[in-house]
Structure 1
Amino acid sequence: MSNSNLNPRCLNIGGKDIRVVDDHQYVLLIWGSLFQNRKQPMALVSIDYHPDTNPPFWLWAYQKAMAIDPDREAELVEKFQQRMLAALDPLHLDSVQMVMDQMRNDEHINTAMELGYLRDYHMINCMEKHVYSRGSHYLVPENQFGSLEDVVFKNIELPLEKIGAEDLILDIDLDYFLRPENFELDLDQNNIFTDLVKQAQIITVARSKTYFDFLKNDEFTIESCEEKLIALLEKIISK
């Protein structure tokens, strides 16, 4: 387990908290801490290459079920998932931290929904436009992967009026960005991402280095990507 998962990089820019972890599932602990302080669930806007909305502890439960009885897979998966969730106390993060090793990096959003940390989510991604009973998915067109320009948010029909009325967490995975030019955002022409940054009560960032290195199109390091994002956030917040 990376030390920065449990001790994330912490920045405060213009009074806005930004937290950076290595593995995306560990933002769950940050969201849980925010819930403890605010005593109410938040809405989430997540920008990611992948739709990180698999059910809580799904892979762990699936592997356990298949090892016991493949013919009872569905029944056992649900049983093991519910057993794991029942052991968690949303107000005591130690109980959540203890099971993080059983959580994949695409299971934290719906776990946060189950724990009451989130009341809704808007998942902007490049892979799947899932339709679930809760939350919404928005699929970025391939020719706009990595972009933060207004045209992206308009093309995916992000419900800005609804989001503008919500208490918001903004969550960003660095693997969304494919090249350094993605951060060359004209802030006089592109206001939607700016508004999301300014509205957010907190911004969480996942490095996801393995996925970043696989997806990037240029000679682009994870360190450079992180610093370019932080610089863009600072520019927006101070604007």
Structure 2
Amino acid sequence: MSHQKVTIGGKDVYIVESHHHVLLGWAEVRRSQGSALALLTLDHHIDTKAPFFNHRFWATHKGVGNDNQAAMQTMLPGMIAAIDWNDEDTVVAAIANLKHDEHIRTAIQAGIVSRAFVVNLSGENRADAQVYETCSGCDAIGCTKPIHDHRCVRTRVDQVLESTYLEHELGKLNTMAQAREVPGVEAAPYILDIDLDYFHSEKAIDPNDAATFYRLVQGALAITIAIAIEVGCVKSLRCSGSKITGQSLLTRMQQHMQTALT
């Protein structure tokens, strides 16, 4: 399991190759804080599938065409109960049965994090009692074209770290939270989680105005970063002509954090 912990400006930063391995860092933060923190994640995907969905499916189905939902549901309580955030071995065992898109709800149900706010690029805008997801169109960057095209999309993905974009998305998440009478994104202690496949171009990781992002970095009690090398998401999602890699994005992200925290 690739899991590295570094300290930048006095803040713990956990770096993993596969996103679901952040569960180990989240559990460590949970132990150190004594209570479950909120989570703010920046990600191309939402990563909010049901806990252990893939493992439970293949454990209870003979093939893709079978339908054994009852058996899948029967397995879940025991798998969640087996996770003790005070016991690192149980967290490692849980990770072995997770896919990279199942860790958020697993962490919530296991009491490792309290709720999750997800800024995504997959088009998901929804909320339930535990997870709040936002993905805006060109309105997030102030585009006023009556018809949006591929140029708008490229402009938007180039600005996902700009203060204007992030403030728009944070505002939407805070509105969702307010509607359910829970604290907003920065109103309670939180972990900042970044999947580097959120960035599709060199410009995306180099904003003109990084003030909001730096504020989020400074306000987080801890930070987790997924390099997304194992599943190849950075390369498969990057814009045409872009040369970014998980490693190049990690280097630039660490530079941003150094600037924000020193």
Same fold by TM-score greater than 0.5: yes
Percent sequence identity over aligned pairs: 25
Determine which of 184, 187, 199 is the counterpart of 1:165: 187
- The separation in 2 between residues aligned to 1:11 and 1:87, in whole angstroms, is 28
Determine which of 145, 148, 158 is the counterpart of 2:161: 148
Determine which of 197, 213, 227 is the counterpart of 1:193: 213
Deviates more, 1:128-137 or 1:30-39: 128-137
- The separation in 2 between residues aligned to 1:71 and 1:13, in whole angstroms, is 49
Query: 1:227 — aligned with what?
Result: 251
Deviates more, 1:122-131 or 1:14-23: 122-131
How far has the Cα of 1:83 moved from its partner? 2.5
3-state SS of paired residue (1:185):
coil
Q: Deviations over 1:8-30 (max 9, x none)?
A: 23221211111110000010011
Return the letter of the residue paired with 2:31.
Q
Return the letter of the residue paired with 1:118.
V
Query: 2:134 — aligned with what?
Result: 138
Deviates more, 1:60-69 or 1:19-28: 60-69
Taking structure 1 as reference, are residues 100 and 162 closer, same or farther at Cα in structure 2, changes over 3 Å only? closer
**Coordinate RMSD, CA, aligned:** 2.1
Unmatched runs of 5 consecutive residues or more in structure 1: none
Taking structure 1 as reference, are residues 144 and 88 closer, same or farther at Cα in structure 2, changes over 3 Å only? same
- The separation in 2 between residues aligned to 1:190 and 1:158, in whole angstroms, is 19
* Maintained 8 Å contact 2:120/2:133: yes
* Maintained 8 Å contact 1:183/1:232: no
How far has the Cα of 1:232 moved from its partner? 1.1
Q: Deviations over 1:115-171 (max 9, x none)?
A: 111111101101122433322001143442252112212333232982222101000
Deviates more, 1:214-223 or 1:138-147: 138-147
Deviates more, 1:54-63 or 1:166-175: 54-63
TM-score (normalised: structure 1) = 0.89
Q: Which of structure 1's runs of 4+ aligned residues deviate more than 4 A?
A: 68-72
- The separation in 2 between residues aligned to 1:67 and 1:42, in whole angstroms, is 39
Return the letter of the residue paired with 1:194.
Y
